[in-house]
Structure 1
Amino acid sequence: MKKDALIISGGWEGHSPEEFTECFKNILEEQDFQVSTINSLDLKDYEKQLKCVDLIIPNWTTGRISFDSLTLLLEAVQEGAGLAGIHGGMGDAFREQTEYQYMVGGQFVAHPGGQNVVYEVTIKDHEHEITKGVAGTFTVNSEMYYMHVDPGNHVIASTKQKNGEMPVAWVKKYGEGKIFYCSVGHTPSDLTERNLYQLIKNGFLWASNK
């Protein structure tokens, strides 16, 4: 039976939401998902769909979401839908909504060094199913994120920054829902890095498994 995924796509155009939505759809459809996309934060019209999907991918940098729509999203994850995403599309959305940030496990604060930074990503948990097939260390050329992060996250990848180690990818639970987040992914071309692509694909699959 095919799994159902829902991508909520829009927000700041600087993060190429349309292009990333196509990337995510391709990843999921290759894994036999049925993928739907909505380009609105008015989730009341999608309440039934939210309650049935296996995976939700927020792809909406910044933006404002109403209390009612946020409640529907939170409840869907609490009841078992997975939540997975990358960079600002998930980690810098709805800045005024602290419960959303708590669910995600972090929030963007700054990008040290600007947009084109060459840095190493180091896997911290080699036994996790998300890191299978991913090199222990790999290099990206992208925008680095400094984030406020939940100390209760299970960090699976990190990088070195001026002030110490910063989580890059983590997992957690929110109610019955499984959460996966990766901070790398400023432009769609970032996903041409094989290890990053594998990490994200594995993260999507892991989060969708109820």
Structure 2
Amino acid sequence: MAEKKALLLVGGWDGHQPELVAKRFSTFLGESGFEVQLERSLDILQDREYLFSLDLFIPIWTMGELHSKLTNHLADAIGSGVGVAGCHGGMCDAFRTNVLWQFIMGGNWVAHPGSDGVPYRVHIKHSSSELTRDVQDFAVCSEQYYLHVDPAVEVLATTTFPTVDWYHSTNGVVQMPVVWTKKWGYGRVFYNSLGHHDDVFDIPEAWTLMKRGLLWAAEGKRIAQEQGVSIDRFASDRKMF
């Protein structure tokens, strides 16, 4: 059986330690039988054929700008079954002006009240998803992400706001998604808002969720191929965004 192929797109703002996160993820994927490629330029997204050959795309790129044409290549590749998985700002604070990117990923960062070093808990939502099996609630001291989230996502973990008093506090208690999954066409999307610094994944529960999410997202390509489905069903001459 051929190895699964994973692309890690590494760059953007250095404060989120993209190189350390990429090293952790690529080591795990290599040990899990993946052929792993690291790219540090957005130019790789011009290669439409290569993107379609992937099983898994992992963005580790906070902020920056992405041209709409390149996003369209990704949208089609992910829609065909290529999985996408990532964490923190490297996925949901990438390319802030790109609304198609945000639509694919399931949400976008808007604030982290209190900045780094905020103590909070992650609450696991047990459901039919195998990704949370045997994982219990756990404590974190890091940035607590406030996100605008697609209502279509399946929420697997939440955190409670407000932790730090600010303008948002007058809305009362809010359960904010921390981990979610969704579909984009036939592709699987996994997001974990933890990961301000790489060492948050030294927390066993956080790393278990992340590892499972990476592997889960990568399975969508195989399933799509076995079912013989095609993105032709999504073709339309109507304006979508």
Is this contact kept in 2: 1:3–1:53, CA < 8 A? yes
Q: Confirm or deny that 1:156 pairs with 2:166.
A: no
Q: Is there any run of 5+ residues in structure 2 with no aligned partner, and where?
A: 163-172, 221-241
**What does residue 194 of structure 2 align with?**
184
**What does residue 117 of structure 1 align with?**
118
**What does residue 234 of structure 2 align with?**
none
Number of equivalences: 209
Counterpart of 1:72 in structure 2: which amino acid?
H
**What does residue 26 of structure 1 align with?**
27
Q: Confirm or deny that 1:206 pairs with 2:216.
A: yes
**What does residue 173 of structure 1 align with?**
183
When the two chains are superposed, the root-mean-square deviation of aligned CA atoms in Å is 1.2
Q: CA deviation at 1:72?
A: 1.1
The alignment partner of 1:103 has SS state of helix
Aligned equivalents of 2:127, 2:91: Cα separation in 1: 24
Counterpart of 1:153 in structure 2: which amino acid?
V
1:1-210 paired onto structure 2 within 5 Å = 1=1, 2-135=3-136, 137-162=137-162, 163-210=173-220
Deviates more, 1:125-134 or 1:164-173: 125-134
Deviates more, 1:102-111 or 1:68-77: 68-77
Q: What percent of counterpart residues are identical? A: 43
Q: CA deviation at 1:68?
A: 1.8
Please give the TM-score of this superposition, normalised by the length of structure 2.
0.84
Aligned equivalents of 2:107, 2:25: Cα separation in 1: 21
Q: CA deviation at 1:17?
A: 1.0
Aligned equivalents of 1:67, 1:132: Cα separation in 2: 38
Q: Deviations over 1:77-114 (max 9, x none)?
A: 01110000000000101111111101111000000221
Structure having the higher Rg: 2
Please give the TM-score of this superposition, normalised by the length of structure 1.
0.96
Moved over 6 A (4+): none
Aligned equivalents of 2:180, 2:47: Cα separation in 1: 28
The alignment partner of 2:20 has SS state of helix
Q: Is there any run of 5+ residues in structure 1 with no aligned partner, and where?
A: none
Higher strand residue share = 1
